Amino acid sequence: MGLITVGDLLSYYPRTWEDLTQITPLQGVRAASGKVTVRARLKSFSGFRTSRRRMFLINGLLEDDTGTLKVVWFNQPYLAQNLKKGAEYYLSGPVKDQDGRPVLTNPGVEPAERTPIHSGRIIPIYPATAGISTRMLRRWLKDSIATIRELPDTLPDEIKKNYRLIDRAHAVENIHFPHSTPAIDAARRRLGFEELLLVHLGLLLAKRQWEELPGSAILSFQGDPFGATFIKDFGSKLGFKLTPTQKTAIKEILGDMAKSIPMNRLLLGDVGSGKTAVAAAALVATVKAGRQSALMAPTEVLATQHYHNLQPLLAKFGIRTTLLTGSTKLHDYSEIENGSIDVVIGTHALIQKQVVFKNLNIVIVDEQHRFGVRQREKLKNKALDITPHYLSLSATPIPRTLFLGLLHNLDISELTAVPAGRLPIITRLVTERNRDTAYKLIEREIADKHAVFVITPLIDEVLDDEQERASIASELRSLKHLFSKARTSSIHGRVAPEEKLKLMAAIKNGGLDILVATSVIEVGIDVPRATIIWIKNADRFGLAQLHQLRGRVGRSGLQSYCLIETALEDETDIERLTSFVKITDGSKLAEIDLGLRGPGAFFGSEQSGLLKLKIANLTDKRLITETRAAAEQILRTDPTLVHHPELKSKLQFDYVTHEE
Ligand code: ADP
Ligand code: MG
C-alpha cells in the first residue's frame, strides 16, 4: 500500500467513520434493532461443524446486568479458540430475527479489558486491500499513535491561533480515533489546512524562484507597445483571419516576452480552437528578435504535422525551421548550435545531449500534460545563460476554481471560441437499432470524398503489440467487407514511423478513406477532410479523452459526426455516454469526469502529483483561500522557511526539489 514508515501510516486517513459509541443494554436489544454494540460477558459458547453444509458455527449466550442475548458466528473457527467463557467483550454487529427472537450475528468482538478500538466508540473505516483489513489497520494505527507521544507540530502557533486550528498530535489522534463527531471536523480541517498550505508554499516558492532566475532576454516591440503591428503582419501571412481570442492570447504572450521575468504561461483552448497559430506567433516574434525557439510535441506524428504546417508559414518570415524526432536524425547538429537554424520542432528527441542551442529564448510544449516535469525542465535547461520563456498548450479543460485558487503560479490565456464557420459536431450513440443508418452515413461521407477515423481501443490493457495488431487486423477485415469500395488502412504500435507518416499524409490528402487506429490519433491530429470519427468500445475512454477524440473531426466547414459505440449495457456507462452525446463543452465534461473519477482522471503528471491530496477537499474554496493567505503570511517574514524546518522538510514538490 506504499506505507513504509509510521509517518506514512499516520497519514493513511480513514475513508469514513462509524459511530458505535452507543452501548445497548441486552434487555433493550430487539429483533428489529439493526446494528448494535453491546458490552457483555460470554456466559457460554460452543463451536461445531454442521454435517450437511460443512459450515463452522459458534453458538453463544451473552449476559449483562439487564439480560441475555444469543450470539452466532459463521465460519470463524479460529475465533472459537480465542474466546473465553466468562470473559467480558465488546461486540458490535447486526441483529437478526430468529423465530421472533433477536440473535447477534457475526459481530466484531474484542476483549473489554482493553479500551476498545473496533466498537464502543467512533471507529475509523479505512480503504482496505486484499489481505489487509480495516481491523488490522485500526490495530496498527492505534499502536502507532500510542507510541508517538510527541508529534512535532508543523504549523506556527500564530497560524494555528489565527485560523483556529488544533495541534498536530491532537489532529492525528482524532482523525483516526475521534473522541466526538465535532473532533473529526476539527481534525480534518487542521490536516487539510496543512496539506493545502504546503501546496501553496510550494507554488509560491517555485514562482519566486522562477522570477529570480537570471533575467531572460527582453524582446522589445519598440514603437509597437501592444504588438499591434506585429500581429497584423503575422496575421496577413496566415490563410485565415485570427479570431479575437487568438489575438488577445498573442498580445498576452508578447507582453510576457517583453519582460525580463521568464514567461510561464498556459495556453488553454478546446480541441480545434487554433492554439498552433498562437504558438506560431510566439515563435516568429522570438526569431524576429534574433533568438531561437523550440516546439516540443508528445508524438512523432504530431511533431511532424506541426513541422509541415508551420515550416511554410515560418519560411514566409525568412525563418529556418528543422524537424527533430526519433526517426529524423539531423546530419548536422552544429546548425542549431551556430544559429543557422532558428526554430526546432520535434519530440522529446529535442532534449538529447547533442542538441545545443545558440540562444534558445522560448520553449513551447504542445499537449503539455503528456510530458513529465523532468522532460520539460531539461528542454528549458537548453538555454545556456538564461531561463527561456515557457509556453505550454493544452486542450485539457480544468475546473476554473482550481486554476484561480491553486494553480496561481501560472498565467493563463484561454481560447474561448473556435474559429468561425465551424458546424457543431453531431454525436450519436450507435446501437443495434441504428447501426444501418450509421453505415449509410459512412458510405455517403466516403462517396463525398471525406475521411473516416475508426477507433478501436485495446480491449484488454495487457494486449501486447502482436495482439494489438491482430485485433486491428480483424477490425480492418470487417471494415473492408462492409465498405468494399473504400480504401482502408490501419495504424498500430508496430507500424514504423515513416509508414505512420505516410498513412497520415494519405488520409489528409485524400489517398485514403478510412483509417483504423487504437488511440494514436488522439492528440492534436489535424485532418480537415475527416468528417466521421467512429469510436468503438467508447466506454473504455474517459469523457475528456472522448472529447479529444471527437475533436479530430469538425476541423473545417464540413458537417462532422462522432459515432460512439459500446457493447456494455451497464446503466452508468450508458448514462455517461449519453451525457457525452448531449454535452459539447469540454470543461463541462471535465467537471463530470472529475466527479466520477477524481482529479487523476484527466490531470497530467504535474497536476495530478500536485493535486494528490489525501484529505483536503478541492472544492472547499474557503480552505483554498485561507491557506493561500497563510502561505503568503509565512513567506513574508521567512522567505526561505529557515525558521520553519518542519514545513520546509515537508515540501516535496517535484519542481521545488528539482530547483534545489
Ligand atoms: P488545436 O487548438 O486543437 O491545436 P489547431 O491549432 O490544430 O487546433 O487548429 C485547428 C485547425 O483550425 C487548423 O486546421 C488551423 O489551421 C485552423 N485554424 C486555426 N485558427 C483559425 C482561424 N482563426 N480561422 C480559421 N481556421 C483556423
Ligand atoms: Mg494542437
User: Which CATH number do you get for residue 41?
Assistant: 2.40.50.140
Task: Count CB neighbours of 622 within 10 A.
Answer: 7
Query: What are the grid coordinates assigned to 293, written together?
Result: 525557439
**Residue-wise pLDDT tens digits, 516-573:** 987 655 455 778 999 999 998 898 888 878 888 898 898 888 999 999 998 877 787 8
**Residue-wise pLDDT tens digits, 234-247:** 999 998 999 999 99
Q: Which of 298, 334, 561, 600 is nearest to 440 (CA)?
A: 561
**Looking at the predicted structure, is the pLDDT value of residue 456 above 60?**
yes
**Residue-wise pLDDT tens digits, 313-347:** 999 999 999 999 988 777 778 899 999 999 999 99
Structure-model confidence comparison of residues 552 and 513, the more confident one: 513
- List Cβ neighbours of 255 (8 Å cut-off, separation of 6 or more): 226, 227
* Long-range contacts (CB closer than 8 Å, 24 or more residues apart) made by 324-332: 324/349, 324/350, 324/355, 325/300, 325/349, 325/497, 326/300, 326/497, 327/300, 327/497, 327/498
Atom of ligand 1 nearest to the CA of 271: 3
Domain assignment present for residue 313? The answer is: yes
| Amino acid symbol at 64 | D
**Looking at the predicted structure, is the pLDDT value of residue 660 above 50?**
no
| 554 and 560 Cβ atoms separated by less than 8 Å | yes
What spacing in Å lies between the alpha carbon of 548 and ligand 1's midpoint? 15
DSSP state of 218: P
Strand 488-491: give its sheet, edge to edge.
426-430, 561-565, 530-535, 451-455, 514-517, 488-491
Answer whether 240 contacts ligand 1 (Cβ < 6 A).
yes
| 94 and 34 Cβ atoms separated by less than 8 Å | yes
Whole-angstrom CA distances from 547 to 38, 389, 544 are 54, 30, 5
Q: Which residues lie near ion ligand 2 (Cβ < 5 Å)?
A: 524
What is the model's pLDDT at position 449?
95
Q: What is the mean pLDDT of residues 81-102?
A: 93
In a shared domain, residues 363 and 433: no
Domain assignment present for residue 380? The answer is: yes
- List Cβ neighbours of 543 (8 Å cut-off, separation of 6 or more): 576, 579, 580, 589, 590, 592, 593, 596
What is the model's pLDDT at position 652?
55
What is the model's pLDDT at position 218?
60
Q: Which ligand is nearest to the CA of 415?
A: 1
Structure-model confidence comparison of residues 521 and 108, the more confident one: 108
| 375 and 604 Cβ atoms separated by less than 8 Å | no
Q: In this prediction, what percent of the chain has a pLDDT beyond 90? A: 46
Answer whether 457 contacts ligand 1 (Cβ < 6 A).
no
In a shared domain, residues 578 and 457: yes
Which residue, by CA, sits nearest to atom 10 of ligand 1?
A: 272
What spacing in Å lies between the alpha carbon of 276 and ligand 1's midpoint? 7
Structure-model confidence comparison of residues 92 and 520, the more confident one: 92
Which structural domain range is residue 563 located in? 426-583
| 646 and 160 Cβ atoms separated by less than 8 Å | no
In a shared domain, residues 387 and 527: no
Q: What is the mean pLDDT of residues 590-613?
A: 54
Report phi then psi at 455, rounded to 5. Answer: -110, 120
Mean pLDDT of the chain: 85
In a shared domain, residues 343 and 454: no
Question: 488 has which bridge partners?
Answer: 514
Answer whether 419 contacts ligand 1 (Cβ < 6 A).
yes
The rounded distance, in Å, linking the Cα atoms of 560 and 558 is: 6
Domain assignment present for residue 603? The answer is: no
What is the model's pLDDT at position 603?
42
| 68 and 104 Cβ atoms separated by less than 8 Å | no
Answer whether 528 contacts ligand 1 (Cβ < 6 A).
yes
In a shared domain, residues 239 and 388: yes
What is the model's pLDDT at position 406?
62
Domain assignment present for residue 161? The answer is: no
Whole-angstrom CA distances from 382 to 218, 354, 387 are 18, 11, 9
Answer whether 245 contacts ligand 1 (Cβ < 6 A).
no
Most confidently modeled of 201-215, 222-236, 419-433?
419-433
Domain assignment present for residue 70? The answer is: yes
Answer whether 302 contacts ligand 1 (Cβ < 6 A).
no
Atom of ligand 1 nearest to the CA of 278: 6
The rounded distance, in Å, linking the Cα atoms of 217 and 389 is: 9
Which residue, by CA, sits nearest to atom 4 of ligand 1?
A: 275
Whole-angstrom CA distances from 76 to 204, 238, 370, 387, 463 are 55, 76, 50, 65, 41
**Looking at the predicted structure, is the pLDDT value of residue 453 above 60?**
yes
What is the model's pLDDT at position 403?
57
pTM to 2 decimals? 0.67
In a shared domain, residues 300 and 354: yes
What is the model's pLDDT at position 602?
39
Domain assignment present for residue 30? The answer is: yes
- List Cβ neighbours of 246 (8 Å cut-off, separation of 6 or more): 274, 277, 278, 415
What is the model's pLDDT at position 55?
87
The rounded distance, in Å, linking the Cα atoms of 204 and 627 is: 12
What spacing in Å lies between the alpha carbon of 205 and ligand 1's midpoint? 36
The beta strands (E) that lie in 50-120 are given as 56-63, 68-74, 88-98, 101-105, 108-111
What is the model's pLDDT at position 523?
53
Which of these three, 64, 95, 120, is where a domain ends? 120
Answer whether 547 contacts ligand 1 (Cβ < 6 A).
no
What is the model's pLDDT at position 374?
67
What spacing in Å lies between the alpha carbon of 542 and ligand 2's midpoint? 19
In a shared domain, residues 320 and 375: yes
**Looking at the predicted structure, is the pLDDT value of residue 600 above 50?**
no
Answer whether 472 contacts ligand 1 (Cβ < 6 A).
no
| 260 and 216 Cβ atoms separated by less than 8 Å | yes
Q: Which ligand is nearest to the CA of 245?
A: 1
What spacing in Å lies between the alpha carbon of 522 and ligand 1's midpoint? 16
In a shared domain, residues 576 and 439: yes
What is the model's pLDDT at position 223?
67
Between strands 411-415 and 264-269, the pairing is parallel
Atom of ligand 1 nearest to the CA of 269: 2
The angle at the Cα of 10, spanning 9 to 13, to the nearest 5 degrees, equals 90
What spacing in Å lies between the alpha carbon of 332 and ligand 2's midpoint? 29
In a shared domain, residues 357 and 470: no
**Looking at the predicted structure, is the pLDDT value of residue 195 above 80?**
yes
The rounded distance, in Å, linking the Cα atoms of 181 and 175 is: 10
Which of these three, 539, 557, 583, is where a domain ends? 583
Answer whether 277 contacts ligand 1 (Cβ < 6 A).
yes
Most confidently modeled of 215-219, 242-246, 375-379?
242-246
Answer whether 395 contacts ligand 1 (Cβ < 6 A).
yes
In a shared domain, residues 570 and 455: yes
**Looking at the predicted structure, is the pLDDT value of residue 657 above 60?**
no
What is the model's pLDDT at position 251?
92
Q: What is the mean pLDDT of residues 617-639?
A: 86
Answer whether 586 contacts ligand 1 (Cβ < 6 A).
no
Q: What is the mean pLDDT of residues 202-219?
A: 72
Which of these three, 339, 370, 394, is where a domain ends? 394
**Looking at the predicted structure, is the pLDDT value of residue 378 above 60?**
yes
| 209 and 48 Cβ atoms separated by less than 8 Å | no
| Amino acid symbol at 306 | H
**Looking at the predicted structure, is the pLDDT value of residue 658 above 70?**
no
CATH classification of the domain holding 575: 3.40.50.300
What is the model's pLDDT at position 166?
95
**Residue-wise pLDDT tens digits, 57-76:** 999 999 999 999 999 999 88
Domain assignment present for residue 609? The answer is: no
Q: Which of 220, 206, 19, 23 is nearest to 122 (CA)?
A: 19
In a shared domain, residues 468 and 385: no
Atom of ligand 1 nearest to the CA of 551: 3
What is the model's pLDDT at position 354?
84
Q: What is the mean pLDDT of residues 16-26?
A: 93
In a shared domain, residues 293 and 347: yes
Atom of ligand 1 nearest to the CA of 273: 2
What is the model's pLDDT at position 344?
96
Whole-angstrom CA distances from 182 to 126, 200, 622 are 19, 27, 19
**Residue-wise pLDDT tens digits, 137-192:** 999 999 999 887 778 888 999 999 999 999 999 999 999 999 999 999 999 999 99
How many domains are contained in the chain? 3
Domain assignment present for residue 385? The answer is: yes
The rounded distance, in Å, linking the Cα atoms of 81 and 565 is: 56
